Amino acid sequence: MGITSGSRILTVTRDEEDKPKEIVGSWADISDRKRIEAELQRLAEQVEQRNRFIRETFGRYLTDEVVDAVLASPTGLQMGGEKRKITMLMADLRGFTSLSERLPPERVVAILNRYLTAMVGVIKKYHGTVDDFIGDAIFVLFGAPVWKEDDAERAVACAIAMQLAMDSINEHNRLENLPEIEIGIGLHTGQVVVGNIGSPERMKYDVIGSQVNLTSRIQSCTTGGQILISETTRQEAGRILKVGRRMEVKAKGVEHPVTLFEVMGISGRYKLLLPDASEKLVLLVSRVPLRYEIVEASQLGHETYTGMLTKLSRKAAEAILDHPISNLTNIKMHLMQDGREIPGSLYAKVIDAVAGSGNAFSLRFTSISPEIESFLQVHTAAGANPMPPVAP
């Protein structure tokens, strides 16, 4: 017979007459086992807390497969931060600030939510990580928290798919009598620091470094419907890219000019191609006088210059500008008629100088108010169908 009392274990042996013959006892200290059980419980709670943090941080913006990979691998998420080469994508709505100022709040939110919902779906399809929504801009990572060899090419394919998805978004906008919207997308591949940044009360998985700023600068060079990538992204993505125009730009905070390439498509397993967005310019019968100011860092310059529109399409123009101006400069134009300024706002980006024309430049509109749009439509129609000459 065995008797257990606390940590004592006593065994009694008996003779043939069932009288106690011998008592054998042992002592077992169970305090170590209790400590081990408590430690295991603590570790299990830490793991559950870690997994909950990862789910909350990435669950909305990553595919389930990527989240599961992070949870399964102890090195899948570097909690303390690390240096890593990743590809970054930044997409921004063109002219949305001015658009939001002239629409009721509920319509602004409707446009933005439709756009963001569609974009997040595309980003998850290409296994990108939505790092942040910055107003109407989206900042996406490829290579963090999980690095893959094809990060750069997936990032470019994602950018093309995002541009292609804009057709469906604008179709729904038109059905609800909402304005059409456009995005410009910039991509760059470089070394950044990734990790959890913040305080114990509020922490965020984020990336920091000069390469993040460069990605933003590249995006700012784009026009609506355009994708620009850096030389490093082009090299990382490889020969499956179809690129168009190459350009050298001077980016703020970067010592040397940056080489950018316009993306037209990607082959391989993606097979994505952007449509030809070029528009035929109509020669205006009557040139439109204008005044313009240079926009620098979202601020208007102090000087006002003059010029005139000579050719027009729905989203582009050629103009004679009296003041020399650099490519990719943003300007705000004030159109004139009969010596008076037309109400409304018109913003454009200078694309290039027209070859052999002196001070003529190609422009791409970035924001047009309804009043200006109506005015330009009248002039475009008049240029396309000029009045026949009067017979003598």
Whole-number pLDDT of residue 390: 43
Q: How far apart are CA 10 and CA 16, in angstroms?
A: 20
Taking all residues of the chain, what is their mean pLDDT, rounded to a whole number?
84
Mean pLDDT in residue range 47-66: 66
pLDDT, residue 182, reads 95
Contacts of 144 (CB under 8 A, 6+ apart): 84, 86, 129, 194, 205, 207
pLDDT tier for residue 39 given thresholds of 50, 70 and 90:
confident
Does residue 3 sit in helix, strand or coil?
A: strand
Residues constituting the chain: 392
Q: What is d(CA 80, CA 57) in angstroms, rounded to the nearest whole number?
A: 15
Q: How confident is the model at residue 49 (pLDDT cuts 50, 70, 90)?
A: confident
Helix (H) or strand (E) holding 31: helix 31-58
Average pLDDT over residues 218-231: 96
DSSP result, 314-331: SSEEEEEESS---TT-EE
Residues 348-373 have pLDDT tens digits of 999 999 987 778 999 999 999 889 99
| Neighbouring residues of 169: CB distance < 8 A, sequence distance ≥ 6 | 114, 115, 118, 181
H or E element that contains 242: strand 241-249
Render pLDDT for 288-318 as a digit per residue (tens, 0 to 9).
999 999 988 667 767 899 999 999 998 999 9
- The per-residue pLDDT for range 267-293, each reduced to its tens digit, is 999 999 999 877 889 999 889 999 999
Q: What is the pLDDT of residue 184?
A: 97
- Digit-coded pLDDT (tens) for 110-160: 999 999 999 999 999 999 988 888 888 999 999 988 889 999 999 999 999
Task: Give the confidence band of 18 by pLDDT, cuts at 50, 70, 90.
Answer: low
Nearest alpha carbon to residue 206 among 197, 215, 219, 218: 197
Q: Which residue has the higher pLDDT, 375 or 390?
A: 375
Cis peptide before 145 (omega within 30 of 0): yes
Tokens of 302: 């102090």
Reported pTM: 0.79
pLDDT of residue 277: 79
Domains annotated for the chain, with CATH where assigned, are 1-33 (no CATH), 81-273 (3.30.70.1230), 282-384 (2.40.10.220)
What's the pLDDT at 298? 63
Q: Which of 309, 301, 325, 330 is nearest to 378 (CA)?
A: 309
